[in-house]
Amino acid sequence: MIDRRFEISFAGSGGQGVVRSSIILVTAAKRQFGDKMQVLQSQSYDAVMRGLPTSSYVILSPEWIDYPKVKNPDVLVALDKTAYVDHINDVREDGIAIYEEDLAKGVKLRSYIANYPVPATRLAEEAGAGRIAANMVMLGVLSCVTKLVDIAPLREEISKQLPKYAQKNNSALDAGFEYAKTRPRPVVEAISS
């Protein structure tokens, strides 16, 4: 369990499951930690338009959350290039960026953070879940890399919140977790175009 306030920003485009990912994360954290952890989720998006920038924020803290805004996240989960570019400068100096590598070609990485490129769309398709489940791959990577929330409560929340698609989404979650186990080192060099 964490011993300080921990902030996570999810960013992408409408329709990529950015908000759903954050909701699953906070409910899984609450399931895992109960009253020992305060959790908060907020979001910023235009609900009318798919494809527009979307952001969702999660705060986990063992103490009361007195300020509900994420300013300098410990982790950025970016599902596309625009999300990475728009949010990377907010990540705290010793933070982590987990991003869709296939959609982030040519971005300038920040050497002061740990960069984790993930072929999330490809992994979701290989897991039989389809590209729509790339966000679940990213949740699996987040679980493995940060060790914030265990994989089991995430699976349970996916099954509860998405019962019709639980098997596919849990397959994508597991694919992300397994991928992260095989790639434990951060990347600090620039991505080639």
Residue 189 lies in a domain: no
Q: Tens of pLDDT along 98-123?
A: 999 877 677 777 888 998 999 999 99
With helix as H, strand as E and coil as C, how does 62-127 read? Answer: CCCCCCCCCCCCCEEEECCHHHHHHHHHHCCCCCEEEEEHHHCCCCCCCCCCEEEEECHHHHHHHC
Domain coverage including residue 52? 6-182
Residue 163 lies in a domain: yes
pLDDT of residue 107: 76
Four-residue CA torsion sign, 131, 135, 139, 144: positive
pLDDT of residue 46: 61
Structural domain total, the chain: 1
pLDDT of residue 192: 33
The DSSP secondary structure of 33-44, one letter per residue, reads HGGGSEEEEEEE
d(CA 20, CA 137): 13
Residue 193 lies in a domain: no
The model's pTM:
0.91
| Structural contact between residues 154 and 173, judged by C-beta atoms closer than 8 angstroms | yes
Residue 190 lies in a domain: no
pLDDT of residue 160: 97
d(CA 14, CA 45): 7
Residue 188 lies in a domain: no
What's 130's domain CATH number?
3.40.920.10
For the chain, which ranges sit under pLDDT 50? 48, 188-193
Residue 121 lies in a domain: yes
Residue 192 lies in a domain: no
Residue 103 lies in a domain: yes
